[in-house]
Amino acid sequence: MGCGFWDISLIACFSLVLVGVSAGSDELPPPENLTLSMSSDFSIIIQWNRPAGLDADCKVQYQIELYLQKCPPSGTPKRQWRTIDLSHTVEEMAKEMCLKIFTLPVTCPNKTKSEPLYKNITKHPVKDLSCVCYSREKMNCSWSLDSDISDLQLYYGKKGILKPCVSYIYDGFKKTGCHLYGENFLIDTYHFLVNGTEKGVIFQNHFDIDASLSVKIPPLKLNITTDQKYIYFQSSKPDFPPSCLKYHFYFKKCNEDEKKISGTDTTQRLEYDESCSYTARVQADFLTCGAGESKMSETVSYGRNNDPNWPLKVSMIVTPLIVSCCLIVVLVLCRRHKESIFPKIPAPPLLLKDVLSNNRDKGFEVGKLYEPHEDVVEKISVEPESIYRHAEPANTV
């Protein structure tokens, strides 16, 4: 009895072991050579090979599960698919994703699902993608990287119609940006996909950029002209829709404070003052259709400051100087040639002296004739000449 009991126990134990081995042998093998690649339309392409060792009449399918967490996942998948093909495209993007795939029997008797395979998908490496639009058909985009990724690729365009970047911007051997051109970037939101492989783990980053909100207008050129009546401030035209631009002209006249004129025209005019100098600069903004502006242009000068009373002041200074110089010249000439200019006057005749003397004595009365003084003549008696030429001798007694 006892021996029969032990025989039955041993048979039962061996049966359980054989059942376990049989169960293990009924598990299907997992897919082989699982790979992930990025599509240009924000999709992940999953590819694999048929499991090895399957019977010819064994038909299988594959179940794919997507988790928004790192591998190995836990909980319920966000999405799942079943397919008999050897590839599948997943259109999903999140900060962290885990793909799980395993084999399921279709017409494989006594077979069970395989062990799962896992693949991580991350979007960490590319950060801070931003774009600046320099014209309606030119835009530069740049990003930062945590590590060097040799197979990094950028795709851009409207959703569903993406194309690769053909002009990368490098920092050494590292791709840090892309120069985009050849289409109007201002009319719609653009989608960007950056993908690659980091340390054997595939990644992709997805960005949406509205270029009209990041416009950077190149500095404008200012020209100043005048027609003697008006002065004109003329700005160059950037390559943006004219209806989206507004121009701001800053100018100074003479020594006045700076003033501002704004408008949608590239030319502004003011009444021209010839006695004033003008300095001006210009800036444009894109606020009508988005956001952005240009840097201030270089300052341009025109004319010079003049005193409106300058001719009068000059005449007040120059005229006295000219008159003084003329007087000095006249005096010098008169002194040098005084004998020729002012000859000596001869003494007046006696009659004229008498006239002058008589006038001094009696005064000159108008209407009277001149009456000369009567000359005083002394009477001289003349004795008859003696008949004797010699003195008579004295009488003697």
Give me the phi and psi of 4, to 5 degrees please.
-65, -35
- Rg of the chain, C-alpha, whole Å: 62
Query: Would you say 167 and 134 are in contact if contact means Cβ atoms under 8 Å apart?
Result: no
Q: Quick one: pLDDT at residue 233? A: 96
Which two structure tokens, joined as six digits, stand for 135?
């014209």
Model confidence, pTM: 0.55
Q: Is 379 exposed, middle or buried (0-12, 13-18, 19+ CB in 10 A)?
A: exposed
Query: Would you say 186 and 212 are in contact if contact means Cβ atoms under 8 Å apart?
Result: yes
Q: Quick one: pLDDT at residue 275? A: 85
The string of pLDDT tens digits covering residues 125-178 is: 777 889 999 999 999 999 888 777 878 889 998 866 788 999 999 988 888 999
Which two structure tokens, joined as six digits, stand for 63?
């179940």
Which two structure tokens, joined as six digits, stand for 5?
């009991």
Higher pLDDT, 312 or 48: 48
Give me the phi and psi of 62, to 5 degrees please.
-125, 135
Q: Quick one: pLDDT at residue 197? A: 78
Q: Quick one: pLDDT at residue 321? A: 86
Give me the phi and psi of 212, to 5 degrees please.
-70, -15
Q: Quick one: pLDDT at residue 56? A: 80
% of the chain beyond a pLDDT of 90: 38
Strand partners, 190: 209
| Residue 325 Ramachandran class (φ > 0 left, ψ -120 to 50 alpha, else beta) | alpha
Q: How confident is the model at residue 284 (pLDDT cuts 50, 70, 90)?
A: very high
Domain annotation for the chain: domains and CATH numbers: 16-122 (2.60.40.10), 126-213 (2.60.40.10), 218-302 (2.60.40.10)
Distance CA 277, CA 74 (A): 78
